[in-house]
Amino acid sequence: MGTRLLGLRIGLRFKIGMTIAATAVVSATLTRASIPVLVSEDRRDSVLAEYQAAAQQYRASGGQDTAGLEVDPANVPEGLRRVVLPGGARSATYLVKDKTGTIAWAAGRGEHGQLLALRRHYPQTLSEDLEQVTRNAAVVGALGASVVGIGLAAAMVRRLRRSTRQAVRIKDGELDARLPERGRDEIAELSAAVNAMAQALAARIEAERAVTANIAHELRTPVAGLLTASSLLSGDDRPAEMVRERAVRLRDLMEDVLEVARIDNGGERAEPREVELATLARRVVAGVRADRPQAAVAVEVIHGTVRETDPRRLDRVLTNLVTNALRHGAEPVVVEVDGPELRVRDHGPGFPPELIAHGPQRFRTGGNGGLGLGLAIATGQAGVIGARLNWHNPPDGGAVATITLPRHTP
């Protein structure tokens, strides 16, 4: 839940916290930049108001000096003097900055053309104090906003991570898993939508499983009758042989569908006992060769070991993998026994990318036909005995399916 920058993972919590902190810093910087302008404008307005009041009093008194008002002073800045030349502006302001602070001037013309001016001195410490206060406020505001932002983001990220874990469980087939729906914000709305989707998906999958299982059950009797009838066919001609082959294939397919249904319904239970893996692998290869006498299948024992597992289910998994390698890969097929790992390697075109990414998908026809039940059954039976199946295409070509057995069968 984040991106990578220079090899580092940047999470949502950090992003939100830094965004809030950056906003606070920018806001404080803009405020700090605008304070000198506002102070200058305030000083201009202040000295101009004082000048206007003093000039009015000067005129009302018949030309008597008013406190602070100077007549034709020599030190009036030249820029201000040019602005208030006779016939020019009636009054104007001018700021002069030096090391001691800022001198604000206001000047205008009297009734007889004399230059009337008023000046005020503002020490530098006032401006410096304002800038320091603003700088401190920026630092404190940025730190405070960062802490608050990271805290809020952390709470949000925790909720998202909990939802992500539940969503992964749903993706992995635990359709009874649900996302927490706390609160009334957008995350809660998203969780509710995902839960509704998971519930609808679970109902649909359950209905499909029930239909598939019912069809297979309904077909058992007619298929058994068909198999019996095909065995009564006389002669060894090709038509009779084809009928017998198709009847056997139909029976095997029906049994595969029923096995998938039992796995889906949780009706399969492991019966573990100690198994010598090299012996089991040789037995599986011997059985495959009995059905395919010309198949190039071999067993290579790298490191033999004994594991507690269900031999019947492990036999089923390994048989399906070897059969799939012969059917969709290319010979020779090698079964490697390496401690708790059993690897089935072929020399064909390799597994499709979607199988490596998402695992076997039942009832999905591959490039060589089939319903995809063999690998789906292998995956399901591996799950029953607690084994893990991995699929990958080695760089030197072919495909490798790896069974990793647990130390103890669940």
Residues 94 and 49 in one domain: yes
Query: 159 by DSSP, 3-state: which?
Result: helix
pLDDT digits (tens, 9 = 90+) for 167-193: 888 777 677 778 777 777 777 888 888
pLDDT at position 229 over 50: yes
pLDDT at position 2 over 70: no
Residues 307 and 356 in one domain: yes
Residues 7 and 142 in one domain: yes
Name the domain boundary from 264, 292, 312. Answer: 264
pLDDT at 167: 80
Looking at the domain assignment, is residue 336 inside a domain?
yes
Which residue(s) pair with 306 in the sheet?
A: 276
Looking at the domain assignment, is residue 277 inside a domain?
yes
pLDDT at position 399 over 50: yes
Looking at the domain assignment, is residue 364 inside a domain?
yes
Contact 111, 59 (CB under 8 A): yes
Contact 344, 332 (CB under 8 A): no
Domains identified in the chain, total number: 3
Structure tokens at 263: 């796995």
Place of tokens 């404080």: 28
Name the domain boundary from 104, 130, 146. Answer: 146
Average pLDDT over residues 301-313: 91
Question: Which of the residue ranges 84-88, 106-110, 126-130, 149-153 has the most confident prediction, judged by mean pLDDT?
Answer: 106-110
d(CA 60, CA 56): 6
The CATH number of residue 332's host domain is 3.30.565.10
Residues 237 and 339 in one domain: no
Residues 135 and 12 in one domain: yes
Looking at the domain assignment, is residue 180 inside a domain?
no
pLDDT at position 4 over 70: no
Whether the bond into 77 is cis, omega within 30 of 0: no
Structure tokens at 284: 């599986």
Pick the residue with more confidence: 50 or 258? 50
**pTM of the full predicted structure?**
0.50
Residues 291 and 391 in one domain: yes
Name the domain boundary from 120, 146, 172. Answer: 146
Looking at the domain assignment, is residue 59 inside a domain?
yes
pLDDT at 203: 81
Range of the domain at 12: 2-146
Looking at the domain assignment, is residue 179 inside a domain?
no
Burial class (CB in 10 A: 0-12, 13-18, 19+), 68: middle
Please compute Rg for the chain using Cα positions. 44
pLDDT band at 11 (very low <50, low <70, confident <90, very high): low
Residues 125 and 221 in one domain: no
Contact 276, 314 (CB under 8 A): no
Looking at the domain assignment, is residue 156 inside a domain?
no
Residues 101 and 230 in one domain: no
Residues 354 and 224 in one domain: no
Looking at the domain assignment, is residue 239 inside a domain?
yes
Residues 242 and 294 in one domain: no
Residue from 331, 263, 325, 321 nearest 295 by CA: 331
pLDDT at position 304 over 60: yes
Residues 134 and 13 in one domain: yes
d(CA 391, CA 2): 28
> How crowded is residue 258: how many other Cβ atoms within 10 Å of its Cβ?
16
Lowest mean pLDDT among 97-106, 149-158, 206-215, 271-280: 206-215
Residues 306 and 229 in one domain: no
Alpha helix (H) residue ranges in 84-185: 124-171
Work out the mean pLDDT of the chain and round it to a whole number.
Answer: 79
CA neighbours within 13 Å on the CB side: how many for 389? 25
